[in-house]
Structure 1
């Protein structure tokens, strides 16, 4: 009995349960084949209904519940929202299995938007029950197991479909069983005693400044397969800043001492006090022009990425109908997840001055992503579509990692969560506008080829803007360096008198 109590008190217990939850909730064998399932004989929906009437509801739902769920997650201390997320995921899966009408599928998409918004609870939970020294391992485990779940689900789905081992309906039943296991696991999670904003630990200012960034920012980032630990990337900068301590500890934010902000926010028990503190931090963070530029790219690129990922199966179905040919959507998703994660991980080992060259990289690689989308759109070959999608996803993972590094390097954990949340809210707002105008049947209701033409053109605009901005940044840095270098005086040669 004593051994059980020690195990439950150890950091491995909640980490193991959370990883089990993350794995079973992300193994979705049918997700790469959702369009063939909905448009096939099981549901008998048309591609236009799915594209223009059903899928847009997810965007509207995600945007509408993101902020309330973010605040409720902290107020309720994570676990209730984790359980609620899994209950909602179970309802979503059950509705996909047993309902058929357009209206029912729209309700399903609404619930899935709630599930997506609740990801914040999964990534934030571990940092409220694990000691600071365990943050890096906990981050690595929780992120890696989600990547494993997505990959296993995609590969499993591809094998089942390719060898005709199960019908689509039976795959959904199997997914429902996995979700039930995840729900049971979430109920066993221990209840945290602290949270980031509403139920804060009573720490000193010194302790507060030495926290590494963690999962709250990862929670906001909704890019499946991105397995990057920002704690490792920014460790060098943290060490340099800690060397500047001179009796009074200086904060991680270059805009001002984090110690003062921390003391102001401790004990902020009411919602109004927390919101006021968040607003102050928001204004101070975005007063940095460099952070603002990177955040603008973050919001714009994430918007285009989400639109592409959400509707790419419709493009694949257009290029090669699943009723007539063998499809390999699951294999492509697995490959893109693994290569995207490898690309994002590898960027941490590059020695590049991203503060100088980063904006040019954003522009140049965004241009390559736009080219991949144009090829996917206008060359009606499924293998070109698959290859272009893998390239596009890897480029996004590469660039979003650079952006995460540049933005998070000088922020405390609380501001890290706030800025990343604000950036993704901006992305969702842009995505809602594009969806309502371009995709929704109440707007233009465009077909899939015009849609992807717009997405490719959208990334082309991003590429042009940030390439010009990057060239200006390099020119300005060169000019400043030239002006700061003292001129070399030519000494006259000695002459014989």
Structure 2
């Protein structure tokens, strides 16, 4: 019953916190009569604040999540969502919308607490099932929210502000479940098990990568931690001790070549993926203005979410030897992602733009799932959370730099079409890097095989 109760609370929270009918139409709403902001303000001065705040808050929130034992950070996330959508309804002006993006960045960074919580209150036998439930419900909430918003807009002909009211109502409902969750008594770093206590595995990493829109069904991400059923007392660690542990694990893990290669793709591709997702709506708004035409962003977001989930599930059935061909597959599919971005911006057809966006997201979902499996397969259990967190942090750091140079009005402040040419070129560069990496790897492998054959004794005698 405690497992069922906690799972139901988390699933309810995950469903309603991701049920956001207004999200596919945010740019149209901000540039419409309700907020009356210009495209330059929305793209170059408001949206970048989310990137900067997410980056700045990710590591402090990660440490706070562990120190406070998860539940308070879940409550903080729920509060942040409510504040975000209250401000989206009631606040006006550039500064208010920038503050709104800060609160949304806080909510995004706080997602670290969502998946990590459940593994501290359930037994190991329930991990797989509970993970499937929680991840499925967040995907369903995101898809259902987009579809609901589109249906309300198209069939009921509601105004965009009514979609924001619906999103706020969902956030208010999501505010309730975290308060009823049991409070864990120990955590991964600050409140550890005593030496010699029985260890268990804990899938702690999904929370670190779950926003990277990457809501990807993952397996094999385990962290060693004490079982609540066998744990009587905890030992507490100070911040210096925790930082020393993280630094030691970092140096140990990133010395491994295969892990470094997959982590590199993870970080650089996630950076570009975030940029395309963040600024796709302004691109659509330029191609097909919502003030003059019906828009179908909700259908596109729904379909792209579902296609991404299907692509992630296909990974286990692909007959690819990733250890041999991984870099070349990354090269080919990164090139496909670059082509999708170029099609979106070059042909200026809204239908081709929608289709390319869906294919872009599905391809990324497939590859990020492969990258996750490959990274996980080369890690000790207790290092999963650290490596996945570092990869996410590096992705956000790169994204912040790209945003500052390309998007922000303090940098070049490029128009949205030019931005997407940059993003397409960015993925083309990624493809080129992994092409050379793949060819070098195959060459080294062939050379090693030839050396082995040359050293093997050859029997030329006949009998």
Common topology (TM > 0.5):
yes
What do the CA deviations read for 1:134-154 (whole angstroms, capped 9, x no partner)? 111111111111000000001
Query: How far apart are the structure 2 equivalents of 1:435 and 1:57?
Result: 10
1:138-287 equivalences in 2 (<5 Å): 138-202=130-194, 204=196, 207-208=198-199, 211=201, 214-224=203-213, 226-231=215-220, 267-287=235-255
Shift of 1:354: 0.9
Query: How far apart are the structure 2 equivalents of 1:46 and 1:323?
Result: 13
Answer whether contact 1:140 1:227 (CA < 8 A) is retained. Answer: no
Shift of 1:472: 1.4
Match of 2:360 in 1: 392
**Structure 2: segments with no counterpart, 5+ residues:** 225-233
Normalising by structure 1, we get a TM-score of 0.88
Q: Secondary structure at the match of 1:323?
A: coil
Query: How far apart are the structure 2 equivalents of 1:189 and 1:278?
Result: 29
Shift of 1:493: 5.7
Query: How far apart are the structure 1 equivalents of 2:349 and 2:53?
Result: 33
Query: How far apart are the structure 1 equivalents of 2:189 and 2:118?
Result: 15
Answer whether contact 2:7 2:130 (CA < 8 A) is retained. Answer: yes
Shift of 1:216: 2.8
CA RMSD of aligned residues (A): 1.9
Query: How far apart are the structure 1 equivalents of 2:446 and 2:306?
Result: 38
Answer whether contact 1:151 1:338 (CA < 8 A) is retained. Answer: yes
Aligned pair partner of 1:19 in 11, 19, 23: 11
Say yes or no: does 1:358 pair with 2:347.
Answer: no
Match of 1:89 in 2: 81
Query: How far apart are the structure 2 equivalents of 1:385 and 1:214?
Result: 37
Aligned pair partner of 2:30 in 28, 33, 38: 38
Shift of 1:219: 2.9
Query: How far apart are the structure 2 equivalents of 1:352 and 1:144?
Result: 26
What do the CA deviations read for 1:154-189 (whole angstroms, capped 9, x no partner)? 110110111134222222122111111111111111
Query: How far apart are the structure 2 equivalents of 1:367 and 1:360?
Result: 11
Normalising by structure 2, we get a TM-score of 0.94
Query: How far apart are the structure 1 equivalents of 2:214 and 2:19?
Result: 13
Cα distance, 1:149–1:62 mapped onto 2, change above 3 Å:
same
Query: How far apart are the structure 2 equivalents of 1:75 and 1:115?
Result: 18
Query: How far apart are the structure 1 equivalents of 2:398 and 2:73?
Result: 26
> How many residues are aligned here?
453
What do the CA deviations read for 1:288-326 (whole angstroms, capped 9, x no partner)? 122111111111000000001000001111111111111
Say yes or no: does 1:70 pair with 2:62.
Answer: yes
Shift of 1:487: 5.0
Aligned pair partner of 1:54 in 46, 51, 57: 46
**Structure 1: segments with no counterpart, 5+ residues:** 1-6, 239-250, 253-265
- Which runs of at least 4 in structure 1 moved beyond 6 Å after TM superposition? none
Answer whether contact 2:334 2:428 (CA < 8 A) is retained. Answer: yes
Answer whether contact 2:58 2:393 (CA < 8 A) is retained. Answer: yes
